[in-house]
Amino acid sequence: MDTKRFETDVIHKGYNAEQHNGSLAPPIFQTSTFVFDSAETGAARFAGEQEGYIYSRLSNPTVAMLEERIAAMEKGEKGLAFGSGMAAVSAILLGLTRTGDHILCSEGVYGCTFGLLQLMEEKYHITHNFHSMNDEESIRSAITDHTTVIYIESPINPTMKLVDLSMVARIAKEFNIPVVVDNTFSSPYLQRPLDLGCDIVLHSATKYLCGHGDVIGGLAVGKQELMSHLAMTTQKDIGGVMSPFDAWLLLRGIKTLPVRMDRHCENAKKLADLLKKHPSINRVLYPGDPDFPQYELANKQMLNAGGLISFEIKGDKAIAQKFMNHLELIKIAVSLGDAETLIQHPATMTHAVVPEENRIQMGISDQLLRLSVGLEAWEDIWDDIKQSLDSL
């Protein structure tokens, strides 16, 4: 049966009982290499004349099932699995650029993506610049003769600013430039950039797709030809591939993604409303807040506003750290999307590599905190936040 609904695909896509000897749980093909029945078979597979597995850095049945499932979830043609989110970012950006090229980026990016962009500029003279992407004319003026990639986070980490993906994709097509979107904050359940005209969507699968804080992984989806090119170049040769066991854990985690995301969003909305009313909070950044500057855009391109809230506490860095240290239930950690509620201080943690001047331009102050709302009872999360705020 060819399923069409997201909630069904996350459970069934890619599963074949006959191929798995009837096992309901997909097998873990924990092997580095595969045996050929003859020398001619091996030669045919290496030549691309015969389908089949060769070596797990190139492809693996457990990983292939995950790649098929994420492609269905993002409504793309082909998925690729990587050893980490940054392995996916690196393979894509290096695969789409040459020396002298230019990358146009959204106004902010994850700290390690920022570091990679700096490395690419210093070592390979691949330049980049950050742009607000607020209107069509300014985007067109920012595109140069050397621009070969437009790279976007939406929502942006950690300011939660959104980019109108349909608008950017429409302009990029005029210049025949691929648009790459980091969709980690939303997951495919809340936002599908390929449906909005973008070319490649990627995830740190470590986050919402896993959902349990026990996997490091990356996933990417796009057109068959483009993704096959990346698979046989930067993915294969740099080698940042996913292990079969991690793929198996992700297949398990993805089955509950819709249910988990509904709870993350429900909890986050309640907490954002309460944070706005507390006298110790300067401002709250949450796309589901009617006062959020891009609230209408969030409703247009996202199913729901997500489980992440950023907020500025009144005071300075010392006050922000004091607040974090007084929390009891909420854990201080830099990931997101786990069952546990997590909090981090971007200026000194995830974005510490970003020079202060760039960080301030991105909107990351010393008072800004990022809260990944978990699956606990929202009342218990709020009680912990409130007792810590009151202690200040």
What is the phi/psi pair of residue 11, to 5°? -100, -35
Give the position of tokens 């068959």.
224
Question: Active-site residue among 57, 170, 270, 317?
Answer: 57
DSSP character at residue 36: -
Sheet-wide strand order for 342-344: 281-285, 308-313, 368-372, 342-344, 331-332
The verdict on whether 207 is a catalytic residue reads yes
Q: Is the dihedral of CA 28, 219, 112, 186 positive or negative?
A: negative
8 Å CB contact between 342 and 374: yes
Tell me which of 9, 101, 164, 182 is the catalytic residue.
Answer: 182
| Residue 286 annotated among the catalytic residues of the structure | no
Q: CA 71 to CA 65: how far, in whole Å?
A: 10
Tell me if residue 53 is catalytic: no
Whole-angstrom distance, CA of residue 294 vs CA of residue 300: 10
| Catalytic, out of 45, 69, 101, 110 | 110
Q: How many CA atoms lie within 13 A of 266 on its CB side?
A: 11
Judge whether 298 and 162 are in contact, CB under 8 Å: yes
Tell me 42's DSSP state.
H
| Helices 257-277, 378-391: crossing angle, 10 deg rounding | 30
DSSP one-letter string for 202-240: EEETTTTTT-SS----EEEEE-HHHHHHHIIIIIHHH--
Helical axes 244-254 vs 61-74, angle rounded to 10°: 40
Kindly state the tokens that stand for 25.
């749980």
- Is 5 designated active site? no
* 90: enclosing H helix or E strand: helix 85-95
Q: Convert 10-41 to b/e letters by CB count within 10 Å (16 or more is b).
A: beebbbeeeeeeeeeebebbeeeebebeeeee
User: Which positions are catalytic?
Assistant: 57, 110, 182, 207
